């Protein structure tokens, strides 16, 4: 089984071909990603209209390259998968329409993929993981703890009540005048700084319900920056290190509480899976390695290239769904919001 996957939910245009190996697990035959960092850098963040236009200009050539690199023709595929949300609606529509058109032209099944489900299932592509497992999803738009019980079976255990972790990193970077993209720049500065210099809060620490809150921490960073103004390069590095240290403490504490809820309701998870762009942060990875070692829990961290948005995770999710007979019609709509757990309550900021 070979599936083409297309991803355009934010500012990466991506296409990949993945095959299901006879013994199970997946093999990435091609994985093309075109970042739009240069287009958005002058604005300090993603501009939806620019992102959608760039997807239109890039997608055809990128799909052709993914097929060529995989040494397959469109007719050789067993299906076409495209991310149908959640994300920036203009970008989502570009990839979704492209995927539908290719599936229609080739007479192949079409699979509409939830971008968050693709992150959730990436560990099964890289590590052939068994259900159920605990997912920590940390990205620019989402921060959630989710019990992954099966394909299409998700139970949200905790979520952010305000900013996502990646969003907080980006906002702190902008506050401190760091270049775009901000999250990786904060990590670079933090590596040079003293994490103990600035006293910052750890919101929600020890709360029984494993939700996250980062807006107060972001405000505390702003207040410390104002007190230290004008800031020297050393001040910036120390504040980044202090901020990152606080985030790491919050993530470990909230994950500990999430694991407690999981074990109470579902038993022992097969692993803790960390996914999403922020899962590339090395300080977070090291802290979760220590936590899992102490907790007797397997930790699965997909390679950094598969933590950020990519087509391989979309293609793999297409495989997971297609082999269960889960295909979609060509009238499937683009969804700017599409929660993994359809039964979960919305938090007060309106995020899924």
Terminal C-alpha separation, the chain:
32
206-252 pLDDT, tens digit per residue, is 999 999 999 999 999 999 999 999 999 999 999 999 999 999 999 99
Q: Find the mean pLDDT for residues 11-35.
A: 95
Contacts of 299 by beta carbon, 8 Å cutoff, 6+ apart: 271, 272, 274, 288, 289, 292
100-114 pLDDT, tens digit per residue, is 999 999 999 999 999
Contacts of 331 by beta carbon, 8 Å cutoff, 6+ apart: none
Q: Is residue 346 over pLDDT 80? A: no
Q: Could you tell me if 69 and 32 are in contact, meaning their C-beta atoms sit under 8 angstroms apart? A: yes
Domains of the chain, each with CATH number or no CATH: 2-123+305-322 (3.30.420.40), 131-303 (3.30.420.40)
Measured distance CA(352)–CA(337) in Å, rounded: 7
Reported confidence tier of residue 344, pLDDT bands at 50, 70, 90: confident
Contacts of 115 by beta carbon, 8 Å cutoff, 6+ apart: 7, 9, 83, 85, 86, 87, 309, 314, 338
Q: How many CB atoms lie within 10 A of CB 303?
A: 10
Q: Is residue 264 over pLDDT 50? A: yes
Q: Find the mean pLDDT for residues 345-350.
A: 59
Burial (Cβ within 10 Å: 0-12, 13-18, ≥19) of residue 190: buried
Average pLDDT, the chain: 95
pLDDT of residue 347: 65
| Strand segments (E) across the chain | 2-7, 12-20, 26-35, 79-85, 110-114, 133-138, 143-150, 153-159, 272-275, 299-300
Reported confidence tier of residue 44, pLDDT bands at 50, 70, 90: confident
Percent of the chain with pLDDT over 70: 98
Q: Is residue 352 over pLDDT 50? A: no
Place of tokens 């829990």: 297
Reported confidence tier of residue 350, pLDDT bands at 50, 70, 90: very low
Q: Find the mean pLDDT for residues 184-197.
A: 97
Q: Is residue 160 over pLDDT 70? A: yes
26: tokens are 């997946």
Spatial strand order of the sheet with 133-138 comes to 153-159, 143-150, 133-138, 272-275, 299-300
Q: Find the mean pLDDT for residues 144-171.
A: 96
101: tokens are 């058109």
């Amino acid at each position: 089984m070979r599936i083409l996957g297309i991803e355009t939910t934010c500012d990466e245009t991506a296409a990949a071909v993945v095959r299901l190996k006879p013994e199970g697990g997946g093999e990435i035959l091609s994985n093309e990603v075109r970042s739009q960092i240069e287009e958005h850098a002058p604005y300090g963040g993603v501009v939806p209209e620019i992102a959608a236009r760039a997807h239109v200009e890039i997608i055809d050539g990128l799909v052709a390259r993914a097929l060529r690199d995989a040494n397959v023709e469109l007719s050789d595929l067993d299906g076409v998968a495209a991310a149908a949300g959640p994300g920036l609606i203009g970008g989502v529509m570009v990839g979704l329409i492209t995927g539908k058109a290719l599936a229609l032209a080739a007479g192949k099944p079409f699979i509409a993929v939830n971008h968050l489900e693709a992150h959730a299932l990436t560990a099964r592509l890289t590590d052939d993981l068994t259900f159920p497992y605990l997912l920590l999803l940390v990205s620019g738009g989402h921060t959630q703890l989710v019990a992954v019980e099966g394909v299409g079976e998700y139970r949200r255990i905790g979520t952010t009540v305000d900013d996502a972790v990646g969003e907080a990193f980006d906002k702190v970077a902008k506050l401190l005048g760091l270049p775009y993209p901000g999250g990786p720049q904060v990590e670079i500065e933090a590596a040079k700084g003293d994490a103990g210099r600035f006293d910052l809060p750890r919101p929600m620490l020890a709360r029984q319900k494993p939700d996250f809150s980062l807006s107060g921490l972001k405000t505390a960073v702003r207040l410390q920056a104002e007190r230290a103004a004008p800031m020297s390069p050393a001040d910036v590095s120390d504040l980044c290190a202090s901020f990152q240290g606080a985030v790491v403490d919050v993530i470990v504490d909230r994950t500990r509480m999430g694991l407690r809820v999981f074990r109470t309701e579902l038993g022992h998870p097969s692993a803790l899976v960390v996914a999403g762009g922020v899962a590339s942060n090395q300080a977070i990875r090291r802290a979760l390695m220590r936590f899992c070692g102490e907790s007797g829990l397997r930790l699965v961290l997909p390679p950094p290239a598969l933590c950020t948005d990519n087509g391989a995770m979309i293609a793999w999710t297409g495989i997971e769904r297609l082999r269960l007979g889960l295909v979609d019609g060509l009238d499937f709509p683009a969804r700017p919001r599409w929660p993994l757990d359809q039964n979960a309550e919305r938090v007060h900021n309106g995020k899924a």
